[in-house]
């Protein structure tokens, strides 16, 4: 039966767990999913940020709950997923919590390298591992936030690029291993997206020249601007919806032409 336009991309009756949903891309995804009828659980290191997102959702008539959680702590992650699963099946996991790092292999300390991997790789692993058992009976969707840094050579992004390359491999592996359980796994690889993190980075690194550097970074995308969190959220909405039921094991570029259209 053909769905009417008003019924597509609906998440009614679906529970989504979104890591790093307290700000930026994660918050945009949480708001988008909730607007389509989904029940939202946010895992964030900042309880305050998680609650702020939840308040936006509930003010708009949606359902959301925030959880203070360090995704690098496996025991803590497992406990949170077990707590959430008691309320009903988990349909969607969006692995979004991550950190960045600037530096070459020589300027990246062992401490910084380990920190990036704990959050960006082990954190994703912990959440997939904790969630997958709850999806095996009914199927589900795992969406990982990767980056063009994982497949393109970016200057001064050694540790970050290596971590995001690992997410590509993780995505393909999970997609392959859980086909028979009707669990889909994909990832999104954005170029630069205008988030509070970007504004904070510019203020800290280029005081007094924030606008100049913002414009320079924006022009790095052939389309001439940075992406917006809502644009990433729209692609996430599609990939996690029933309308994308034939899509798994795919890395989706969302890069304003950065990968294929650069001079």
What's the distance, CA 60 to chain centroid?
22
The whole-angstrom separation of Cα 78 and Cα 50 is 19
Which residue stretches of the chain are H helix?
Answer: 24-35, 47-59, 74-85, 110-117, 123-135, 158-177, 196-205, 210-219, 229-240
Which residue stretches of 136-262 are H helix?
Answer: 158-177, 196-205, 210-219, 229-240
Environment class of 174 (CB within 10 Å of its CB; exposed 0-12, middle 13-18, buried 19+): buried
CB 207 within 8 A of CB 214: no
- What angle is formed at CA 253 by the lines to CA 53 and CA 145, rounded to 5 degrees? 35
Active centre residues (catalytic) = 160
What's the distance, CA 77 to chain centroid?
16
The whole-angstrom separation of Cα 124 and Cα 174 is 12
CB 90 within 8 A of CB 15: yes
């Amino acid at each position: 039966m053909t769905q009417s336009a008003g019924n597509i991309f609906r998440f009614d009756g679906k529970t989504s767990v979104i890591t790093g949903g307290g700000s930026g891309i994660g918050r945009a995804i949480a708001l988008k999913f909730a607007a389509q009828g989904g029940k939202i659980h946010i895992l964030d290191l900042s309880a305050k940020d998680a609650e702020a997102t939840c308040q936006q959702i509930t003010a708009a008539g949606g359902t959301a709950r925030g959880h203070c959680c360090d995704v690098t702590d496996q025991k803590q992650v497992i406990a949170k997923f077990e707590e959430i699963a008691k309320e009903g099946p988990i349909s969607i996991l969006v692995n979004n919590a991550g950190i960045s790092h600037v530096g070459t292999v020589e300027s990246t300390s062992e401490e910084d390298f380990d920190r990036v991997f704990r959050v960006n790789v082990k954190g994703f692993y912990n959440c997939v591992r904790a969630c997958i058992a709850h999806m095996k009976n009914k199927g589900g969707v795992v969406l990982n936030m990767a980056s063009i840094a994982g497949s393109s050579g970016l200057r001064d992004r050694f540790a970050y690029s290596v971590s995001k390359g690992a997410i590509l491999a993780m995505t393909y592996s999970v997609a392959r291993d859980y086909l028979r359980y009707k669990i889909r796994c994909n990832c999104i690889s954005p170029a630069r997206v205008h988030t509070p993190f970007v504004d904070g980075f510019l203020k800290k690194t280029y005081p007094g020249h924030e606008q100049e550097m913002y414009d320079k970074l924006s022009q790095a995308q052939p389309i001439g601007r940075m992406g917006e969190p809502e644009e990433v959220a729209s692609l996430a909405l599609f990939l996690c919806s029933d309308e994308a039921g034939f899509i798994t094991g795919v890395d989706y570029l969302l890069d304003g032409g950065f990968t294929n259209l650069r001079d």
